[in-house]
Structure 1
Amino acid sequence: MKKQAWRVLFFATPVHRDQGAHMARIRLAGGIALLAVTASACGLGNDDRPSGAGDGGGHLVYAEHLPPVAAWALESNDAFTLTRAGCLEPLVQSELDGSLSEKLATSWEQVEPTAWEFQLREDVQFQDGTPMDADAVVGALTHVLEAKTPARSFNAEVISGVEAVDESTIRIETKQPDVLLAYRMASPNTGILAPKAYEGEQIDIEGTCTGPFEVVEENSQQSLTLERNETYWGGTPALATAEIRFIVDGEVRATQLQAGEVDIAPYLPVAHLTQLEGNDDLAVTTTEQPRTTAMMLNNSRPPFDDPLVRQAIQRAIDTQAIADSIYEGVMSPAIGPFAPDQPWAPQDVSPVSPDLDEARRLLDEAGVDPSALSFQLMAYVSRPEFPDVAAVIQDQLGQLGIEVKIRSGDAATFEPEWLAGDYDAALLSRGYLLDVGDPAGYLAADYTCAGSYNVAHYCDEETDTQVNQALQNENQGARYETYRSLAQKLQSEAVNVFLVHESGVVGATTSVENFEQHPLNFYVFTKDLDVS
């Protein structure tokens, strides 16, 4: 059997693990890596699956780790799932090197300090045959803007309004100068659906997208059935049909990949790496991502409203041990919110060293008896390692006499409690380029007083001022210096306990062609995705 071939472009440097020929680890040095899968001489097959249309188009099954939880409301994370499905498209595309390119818009310009204009791609039709014109785009974006639960990247705190200039031009007004608006328009939350999608009580995704694939059937919380969009503006898609299976459990995703029941599976448990690497029918790749796992601390109520208590917790947790034991060295201990190889990360900084004596001293200074300290730690199961991480934290803090009660469940169930401030602590995997392709978006959403995703419920006037100034600063170097300073502040104040900088483990059968692993996991079902 011919082995899997990988091409690494842009800023990526491959580092191969000893255990397997099909495993590559990609380090992102301030850029994004592109992994392009080429066909092998043989691969897994499933004769029971449809082979596609009569023109020879194939069929592919993808294991999606996030099922829809908000009836496809585009202000929610459901938009990201719908974008990966090749259905929903935004105006701007986030490329694999972090740059922006044309999607449903062909150009954009900041015409005034608080106004941008976007020129729309002509002759694009929604899958129901209606035209994608300025009125349709304005309607779609206004629907998101008026959502009760705002999108992190595009909301009324940032955007004043959207209007049509002419049939193919829209104008977006911002409340203050925002040099990053084009990055906001690459977020899946700003994807465009046909007017028909918004007519019912919930979003209708069948026939209302512009992408290379159309949703033709939804089996609630189980799967989506896709067919190629024969009239796609970007050309005819290679695949004829596809299925997306919603599989929250990482162990199940790994098992189905090994059995050949799915063709692509993301966020695989690191505990399965050796076994997966030994399978010649699979290509398994680990890519460092702009994403950090943290133990979020509710700064708005005791005991974590006291920075001394937060710092004590931080000093009692051994992040190197977590990286080595739970993540088997695939992930690295965190130095703060940003990975050290990012151009805006603090330089020459090491992870916090565990020191139980110092932790006891800090608690004593705070007037807190560790044996009287008890809190609940939430760990959601769609991240397969989180229950084990929680158990390690429970043990490490137990050495101080602190009681940690673990609560496992679904992220969708936990999130309303986080946002309402009705929790103590929670494990959270958060991408710092996910909402806006610049850290200012993450900092504004997560660490300003009125931030739309301020799970920590952290509020500091100076931080607000610095973030707002960064959003208006066209000087990239100056913005990066601000991010560096804020990262050091968040770490030194132990606003949260940043645990590990993440790597995403994704597996694909060697029959998969032209699969490009996007570091932000925006796109899967592209026009060129295929199976041999």
Structure 2
Amino acid sequence: MHLRIPLPAAGLVTVSALLLTGCFAPSEDSAKPGSGDDRRIRLAMMQPPRSGLSPLSDDAFKLSRWSTAETLVTLDPLGDARPGLATRWTRTSDRTWEFTVREGVTFHDGSELTAEVAAHSLSRAATASPKPRILDGVELTAEARGGKVVVTTDETDPLVPQRLSSPQLSILAKSAYGKDGRIDPVGAGSGPYALVKVNGTTTAALDRYDGYWGKKARAAGIDVSFVPDGAARAAAIRSGEADIAESVPVSQASLLAPETVTEVPMPRTNTLYLNTASGPFEDAGLRAAARAAIKPAELVKGVYEGRADRAGGLLGPALPWAAEGRRELTGRTKAADPGGTTITLATFSDRAELPEVASVLQQQLQQAGFKVKQVVREYAHIEEDALAGKFDAFILSRATVLDSGDPVAYLRSDFTCDGSFNLARLCDKSVDEAVRKASATPAGDARRAAVLAAEAAVLRTDAAIPMLHERVIQGDATSLTGSAKDPRERLLVTSDTRFK
């Protein structure tokens, strides 16, 4: 049984204080007394920018969580499309949609939102190399026509509005796009907060944008610090150094005052990806042996202290229809004898629990007859090797509906032959066909059933072994109210976030 040995409380406070040194540089405004509207929100984020805050990368979700970049469409809690920078849309043919752009919107550089500007942003995303993940397997064109944005896809796509809700398809001012292909979001968004400064991978600053078309921000601005160390983020809430801390580690949650902790089930799955293209796990029997060796209950209880849900599939309790519609899986490969087979198990340290998960899995796999080597690095230093197939197994905490509010984009990206994030290097005809069918099915019960059929096709390959579904733990100072608790991790600081 795996047990955590806690640090003494006094020692933990000392360590956290040392980790915090130099991480936060509160502005003069944030320390001012007075009304909440005059104060700045101090935000501790887990991961620093990976791609210079390019909206075409996962950095787009930082721009969204800061309420600085916006999309044509937004999603409601059920995942249905709602107006954003577009006020309405019409499907004019199987492959063509027309979006009416909201009037009276200005970007932070003073320029106006027009159909031409919106089409320009979408076209840059559609022609980028590599493409944003949301456009995996999708050929899309956008043009301004008759004052509207006309979006055309090469194949029928019933989820175009949901797709355009992805932060990776944010609409920025033309000034953001350089001739060298780089995209600089500073001063180019349209949200209630204007990004005014980025200091590499350490800090960023945003100011309230008084020209915002919608509800004005209540706080004067946001001071962002990138703090990869989870203990330091939690300590920032305890010490008052931060007003919001995202992704508080499970091990730290119990050390915070209960009124500062929010726990939200989220569509995120902790999964073991097995390299099916090279190495020991080309053998389906050995993949089945790995699946049989893993005991998720030990991870939930020992590593996550009960603050997670044991996986019944790739899709978790944040999507209740998945559990309701899932059927018992049949046709699985029988486990082979590992016979001392050596494997390399890798993960990253940015999420505090994952190295501990790796240690528990190492024990479980060794007990089953594997010999296991471990590799743990920061994500920025391991992603390239993971995608290149340099590890036999990789532990990833993966959001399953991050982009469009629909799991198909995740299934295509992670498990199809041409998926851009295919850590398992899986190329299986039955999986590709099941994902293609789900992608072509209109929204509703039929699409959900097709998604579950695709999930089953993936699970039968044992290329991915879902272990548990995480809950997001967020820390908020008691002096603050109105921060978003968003399972999709798109929203955090909003116009309503303010000091009491």
Which TM-score applies when normalising by structure 2? 0.89
Aligned with residue 431 of structure 2, among 455, 458, 463 = 463
Looking at secondary structure, tell me which structure has more helix per residue: 2
Whether the 8 Å contact between 1:86 and 1:211 is mirrored in structure 2 is yes
Q: Deviations over 1:234-262 (max 9, x none)?
A: 03211112201111111111111111101
Q: Deviations over 1:446-465 (max 9, x none)?
A: 22211222221111222222
Map 1:111-130 onto structure 2 (within 5 A): 111-130=92-111
Whether the 8 Å contact between 1:141 and 1:192 is mirrored in structure 2 is yes
Map 1:267-286 onto structure 2 (within 5 A): 267-277=247-257, 282-286=259-263
2: CA distance between counterparts of 1:52 and 1:110? 52
Residue of structure 1 equivalent to 2:7: none
Residue of structure 1 equivalent to 2:384: 416
Whether the 8 Å contact between 2:292 and 2:335 is mirrored in structure 1 is no
Residue of structure 2 equivalent to 1:263: 243
Whether the 8 Å contact between 2:267 and 2:400 is mirrored in structure 1 is yes
2: CA distance between counterparts of 1:520 and 1:246? 20
Return the letter of the residue paired with 1:220. G
Q: Are residues 1:400 and 2:381 paired?
A: no
1: CA distance between counterparts of 2:387 and 2:88? 36
2: CA distance between counterparts of 1:96 and 1:90? 16
Distance 1:56 1:519, change over 3 A: closer
Residue of structure 2 equivalent to 1:192: 171
Task: Give the C-alpha shift of residue 313 in structure 1.
Answer: 0.4
2: CA distance between counterparts of 1:106 and 1:47? 39
Whether the 8 Å contact between 1:346 and 1:487 is mirrored in structure 2 is no
Map 1:69-80 onto structure 2 (within 5 A): 69-80=50-61
Q: Are residues 1:343 and 2:321 paired?
A: yes
Q: Deviations over 1:274-294 (max 9, x none)?
A: 22135xxx4211111111110
Map 1:130-529 onto structure 2 (within 5 A): 130-155=111-136, 157-167=137-147, 169-199=148-178, 201=180, 202-277=182-257, 282-339=259-316, 342-345=320-323, 347=325, 362-364=335-337, 369-371=338-340, 373-474=341-442, 476-529=444-497
Q: Deviations over 1:12-63 (max 9, x none)?
A: xxxxxxxxxxxxxxxxxxxxxxxxxxxxxxxxx9988343999942211111
2: CA distance between counterparts of 1:148 and 1:245? 30
1: CA distance between counterparts of 2:140 and 2:326? 41
2: CA distance between counterparts of 1:271 and 1:55? 32
Whether the 8 Å contact between 1:270 and 1:328 is mirrored in structure 2 is yes
Whether the 8 Å contact between 1:90 and 1:188 is mirrored in structure 2 is yes
Number of residue pairs matched by the alignment:
472
Structure 1 portions without partners, runs of 5+: 1-44, 353-357
2: CA distance between counterparts of 1:244 and 1:72? 13
Tell me whether 196-205 or 340-349 shows the greater mean CA deviation: 340-349
- Superposed CA RMSD: 2.4
Task: Give the C-alpha shift of residue 348 in structure 1.
Answer: 7.0
Structure 2 portions without partners, runs of 5+: 1-25
Query: Identical aligned pairs, as a percentage?
Result: 31
Distance 1:130 1:46, change over 3 A: closer
Tell me whether 482-491 or 384-393 shows the greater mean CA deviation: 482-491
Whether the 8 Å contact between 2:270 and 2:395 is mirrored in structure 1 is yes
Return the letter of the residue paired with 1:252. A
Task: Give the C-alpha shift of residue 494 in structure 1.
Answer: 1.4
Tell me whether 137-146 or 502-511 shows the greater mean CA deviation: 137-146
2: CA distance between counterparts of 1:254 and 1:232? 32
Secondary structure of the structure 2 residue equivalent to 1:456: coil
Distance 1:461 1:515, change over 3 A: same
Distance 1:348 1:192, change over 3 A: closer
Return the letter of the residue paired with 1:218. V
Whether the 8 Å contact between 2:36 and 2:498 is mirrored in structure 1 is no
Task: Give the C-alpha shift of residue 270 in structure 1.
Answer: 1.1
Residue of structure 2 equivalent to 1:21: none
Secondary structure of the structure 2 residue equivalent to 1:397: helix
Task: Give the C-alpha shift of residue 191 in structure 1.
Answer: 0.3
Distance 1:351 1:396, change over 3 A: farther
Whether the 8 Å contact between 1:433 and 1:442 is mirrored in structure 2 is yes
Map 1:97-112 onto structure 2 (within 5 A): 97-112=78-93
Task: Give the C-alpha shift of residue 144 in structure 1.
Answer: 1.4
2: CA distance between counterparts of 1:510 and 1:54? 16
